Structure 1
Amino acid sequence: MAKFNADYIITMDDIVREGHPVLRTVTDPVKLPLQKEVREALQCMMQFLKNSQNPEISNQYKLRSGVGISANQIGLNQRMFAMYLTDAKGNIVEHALFNPKIISHSLSMIYLPESEGCLSVDRPIHGFVPRYETVKLKAYNLDGKEVVLRFKGYQAIVVQHEIDHLDGIMFFDRINKENPFKLPQGVEIRSLYEPRSK
């Protein structure tokens, strides 16, 4: 982990690709109080997301744009992830979390009409990935404080995608094997970009 210190720049060469066993590993909880090297590794992951969304830097380092990254995607068996995105109102949403756990979720579900993407997957994958529309999360932040956070819509999708990684689950595992565009029965589910039915 020492490699991912405060000055290290994560590039696509550091991203573990599908087929690597670490992506199928249920990650170990991060020990508290937080160790400096663990905190720096997560800060490094956050900086990667920021760099990947900066056209100049991403072009310089040939980065694929990402909104979330989990520790096992850079080969670390640690239960932590970072997310960085801009919401519909143009606000920056930035979270670096240790030992995240979903403590409740909605019954209603959503999916991205274009499927999901993943920094660890280089091939196009088509199909709907059902996700809970809202999730409530308990985790620890970079200060080592326990936080409870609620996510809805696209942010909830990102959080569930990253927590799946930490549980050794890839997004395509959730696509219906027989029919990739078949949605689960008996639940309220809609495309993220469809208006909610009245």
Structure 2
Amino acid sequence: MTTIWNSSERFDRSAAQWDENPRRTSLAANIANAIVETAKPRASMQAMEFGCGTGLVTLALAPYLQTITAIDTSEEMLAQLQKKIETLGIRNVHPILADLVHDTVSPLATESLDFICSSMTLHHIADISALLSKLNGLLICGGILAMADLDREDGLFHDDGTEKVHHGFERPELQNMLEDAGFRNVSFRTAYEIKKTNRAGRDATYPIFLVTALKP
């Protein structure tokens, strides 16, 4: 079977039930808290989250920001987010269906962002260096990047063994990639630990890091 990166169709199929998983909602809440504590988003900031999914992190961060553009490649994930926006009457969250990696034209109204974040998206991206360079180009000088993802893992975290992903990241290696893309003041913390039975049937703990970096 051919494996592909970042299958929007798979996420489309999961969208309606995505928020029903308590491990997933707990993860998002803890990552959002870590982002607020560490990156300190402010009400003057224009922000973007890439790989926003149903907006679990997006909506937790929205009260701290002027605006946040929520980008994803899954139409159904964004539909779930749009329902929440309409139900809650939220006005500063703007969902956009787009692929930051492959789209040649920017989907953003402005490329002068103060803040960019992501949660559990980076390991789905094939070319990390290209993405980091693109994110650097979207930020203003002094802009902040905050990304949460898996530390290097045993390759058994994902239940679907055919899914093409990075098996987490070594922190020093990712720091080097960020610095090569033009970021400075790179800092890591552990934001959360996922405890689950992995694909091999073994109970395991998977740490989730939050890395923050500055565009000088």
* TM-score (normalizing by structure 1): 0.30
Higher helix share: 2
* TM-score (normalizing by structure 2): 0.28
